[in-house]
Amino acid sequence: MAQTPMLRYNDGSQTPPRLRIAHSLWSLRALPMNAPAEWTLAEKFERVNANGFEAVECWLSDNDEKEHRDALDAEGLRLVLGHRPFKVSDVRQTVERALRLKADFIFAQPADAFTPVDEVAALLQEGRKIANDDGIALFVEVHRNNFTENLPQIKQLIELDPDIRFTADLSHLVVCGEFYGWEDERAIDRLEPVLCRTSHMHGRISNGEAVQVDVGDGSGDTAQFFVKLWARAMRNWLDGAVPGDVFQFASELGPPRYAITLPDGKEFSDRWEQSLVMKKLAEQAWALASAK
């Protein structure tokens, strides 16, 4: 018997639909910046918890899953798993890991831009069924070097898989589309096929040329353009949301080579402090979405 696709992550509670802010494990690499010693895993998760993040998004293997699950449990943090599937068996393996580690949901960076769209659609439909049958939501990440790296391909995928729901890392589409946030670009309208199907979001900001830029305190035009995009996706998600539904926003600022460096290879933007700015901007976007 076919199961209704899981369009949102639901925690099983009667809490009104809410925003949950997470942190990417990948974003915690090489921190503190330009220091001789990196924070230990325990130190990273302690800082994540102390600053109000509720979950960590991880890509794990058989070799490191226990270490990370134990470190998360020590801080009372939730887990979400990412993976890059090329075959249905890749999804099945991640679903099994999610069940074993009690992950809340999973997201996928599907195949690559050279895989035929019908193959990608079949992969995601079958993968979602496998996940949903085990009570796990599966969302599809918008990301460069995946099939979902540009809007024309995403629209093709939606036509074949209308039940698809996205992990929206809009920085990729903004840099690929070279959007600057100008009104005549009609960025929100052009991004609407993604924004109306977003159930999970990654917080990174592009200025239309570089995929990841420092936005200071977040009050400038570049950051506020993203706040508008995020708020539109959140508002769409809230329509039809029910008690227990959770919209997860993960601060995800990559280490070099995502992070811009000086000629000597050192970072000049404090990614940890910027991750706190991403959290603040997500809360601003949620307030805007909730007020409408």
Asked if residue 272 belongs to a domain, the reply is yes
Average pLDDT over residues 87-93: 98
| 9, two tokens | 């992550």
| 12, two tokens | 């099983």
Q: Residue 2 above 60 pLDDT?
A: no
Average pLDDT over residues 155-161: 98
Average pLDDT over residues 123-130: 97
Q: Give the three-state DSSP class for 75.
A: helix
Q: Residue 192 above 50 pLDDT?
A: yes
Straight-line distance from the first to the last Cα atom of the chain, in angstroms, rounded to the nearest whole number = 38
Q: How far is CA 52 from the centre of its chain?
A: 17
pLDDT at 292: 64
pLDDT at 4: 82
Average pLDDT over residues 9-28: 98
Which residue shows structure tokens 């809360």?
283
The pLDDT tens digits for 231-253 are 999 999 999 999 999 999 999 99
> pLDDT-derived band of residue 260, with 50, 70 and 90 as boundaries?
very high
Q: How many CA atoms lie within 13 A of 221 on its CB side?
A: 7
Would you call 11 exposed, middle or buried from its count of C-beta atoms within 10 A (0-12, 13-18, 19+)? middle
Average pLDDT over residues 115-121: 98
Q: Give the three-state DSSP class for 83.
A: strand
Asked if residue 10 belongs to a domain, the reply is no
Cis peptide before 17, with omega less than 30 degrees from 0?
A: no
| 98, two tokens | 């999610």
Q: Determine the Cα–Cα distance for residues 272 and 277; give it in Å rounded to an integer.
A: 9
Q: Determine the Cα–Cα distance for residues 290 and 232; give it in Å rounded to an integer.
A: 10
| Number of domains into which the chain is organized | 1
pLDDT at 25: 98
Q: Residue 3 above 60 pLDDT?
A: yes
Q: Residue 1 above 50 pLDDT?
A: no
Q: Is 175 in contact with 205 (CB distance < 8 Å)?
A: no
Report the sign of the C-alpha dihedral through residues 118, 121, 127, 132, in that order.
Answer: negative
Average pLDDT over residues 138-165: 96
Asked if residue 131 belongs to a domain, the reply is yes
Q: Determine the Cα–Cα distance for residues 32 and 59; give it in Å rounded to an integer.
A: 21
Asked if residue 7 belongs to a domain, the reply is no
Average pLDDT over residues 256-265: 93
Asked if residue 220 belongs to a domain, the reply is yes
Q: For residue 170, how many other CB atoms are within 10 A of its CB? A: 27
| 251, two tokens | 């601060």
The pLDDT tens digits for 130-140 are 999 999 999 99
Residues spanned by the domain of 283: 15-291
CATH of the domain at 19: 3.20.20.150
Report the sign of the C-alpha dihedral through residues 220, 224, 226, 230, in that order.
Answer: positive
Q: Is 8 in contact with 237 (CB distance < 8 Å)?
A: yes
Which of these, 127, 123, 157, 125, lies nearest to 142 by C-alpha position?
157
**DSSP 8-class letter at 252:** -
pLDDT at 190: 95
Asked if residue 1 belongs to a domain, the reply is no
The pLDDT tens digits for 178-187 are 999 999 999 9
Q: Determine the Cα–Cα distance for residues 173 and 149; give it in Å rounded to an integer.
A: 7
Q: Determine the Cα–Cα distance for residues 127 and 153; give it in Å rounded to an integer.
A: 19
Which of these, 141, 174, 151, lies nearest to 59 by C-alpha position?
141
Average pLDDT over residues 188-195: 96
- Mean pLDDT, the chain, rounded, equals 96
pTM of the model: 0.97
Which residue shows structure tokens 């580690």?
101
Asked if residue 113 belongs to a domain, the reply is yes
Asked if residue 260 belongs to a domain, the reply is yes
